[in-house]
Structure 1
Amino acid sequence: MNTKKMTRKTFTCAALCGCAAAIAGCATNETARAKEDLGAYCGLHCGSCPMYTGGKCTGCKGPTETLSDHCKKCEMRPCAQAKGVKSFAECKGFPCAKTEAFHNSGKPMGKAAAANCKVIQESGYEKWLAAQSAK
């Protein structure tokens, strides 16, 4: 049994990686974040969002209580979670009224998400996510 005193860094890592990783010794928060799925359900990349990078949100696949107010209000997130998809682009019902409303809202975020969903459908989620993470 590991009897080392838990540091703040290790505690934070435990929250991000899980207890086993903390006991084993997680390298850094950045290492933990790199292992996270930062692709938002809607087609955006949470790792590029100022709310995420500013520490005000854990990404839309994080716990509800740690999301930004915008992500908490998202009507599409619970649907994607219930269907077990990583992205709307993987859903058999895509596009639906909710995703079309967001993607066609005229807002830059909606346009970017729509373009990303098209790429996800063409090349696959994992390949798209790797390209986003490399930026």
Structure 2
Amino acid sequence: MEKIIGYCGIVCSDCPAYIATMVNDDEARIKAAEMWSKEFNEQIKPEDINCEGCNSKNGVLFSHCSVCEMRKCGLPRNINNCAYCGEYTCQKLEAFHKMVPDAKSTLDVIKNTI
């Protein structure tokens, strides 16, 4: 499977929702819904676990991806991810990366190669 990097630096192709969607695996959807419901203290249903990656312009997105501020910013700029942005790194991204430092590392590697 091709590695897909989201705007924020999360590896979409490693995400349980993306994987379950690509292989159409209902058991994987159930597991992800249970895991995320506990982790985020929200009621997430297996049918919510569908996503084609945040870079998808017309595809199915997990609920958080459809409201993500980094995606809302990057999509109209027509960039692959935030590493390609002339304003990298911004306040929204920095706040997110405090919670998900691996995503920052991913974008930093990309930024250093372009």
- Tell me the TM-score normalised to structure 2 length: 0.67
Cα separation, 1, equivalents of 2:96 and 2:58: 20
Aligned length: 86
What residue ranges of structure 1 are gaps of 5+ in the alignment?
1-32, 125-135
Does residue 99 of structure 1 match 2:89? no
Residues 64 and 98 of structure 1: CA distance in aligned 2, closer, same or farther (over 3 Å): farther
Q: Report the counterpart of residue 18 of structure 1 in structure 2.
A: none
The aligned residue for residue 84 of structure 1 is 78
Shift of 1:91: 0.6
Contact kept in structure 2, 1:103 and 1:111, CA below 8 Å: yes
CA RMSD of aligned residues (A): 1.8
Instruction: Please say if residues 64 and 72 of structure 1, whose CA atoms lie closer than 8 Å, have aligned partners that are also in contact.
Output: no
Please say which structure displays the higher CA radius of gyration. 1
> How far apart in 2 are the matches of 1:65 and 1:85?
17
Three-state SS of the structure 2 residue aligned to 1:42 is: coil
The match for 1:112 among 84, 90, 102 is 102
SS at match of 1:123: coil
Distance 2:95 2:110 in 1: 19
CA distance in 2 between partners of 1:84 and 1:61 (Å):
9
Q: Percent identity?
A: 34
The equivalences for 1:1-135 within 5 A come to 34=2, 38-55=4-21, 56-63=50-57, 66-105=60-99, 110-124=100-114
Distance 1:79 1:48 in 2: 22
TM-score, normalised by the number of residues in structure 1: 0.57
The ranges of structure 1 where at least 4 consecutive aligned residues each deviate by more than 4 angstroms after the TM superposition are none
List runs of 5+ in structure 2 lacking aligned partners: 22-49
Once residues 50 and 63 of structure 1 are traced to their aligned partners in structure 2, the CA distance between those partners, rounded to angstroms, is 20
Higher relative contact order (CA 8 A, sep 6+): 2
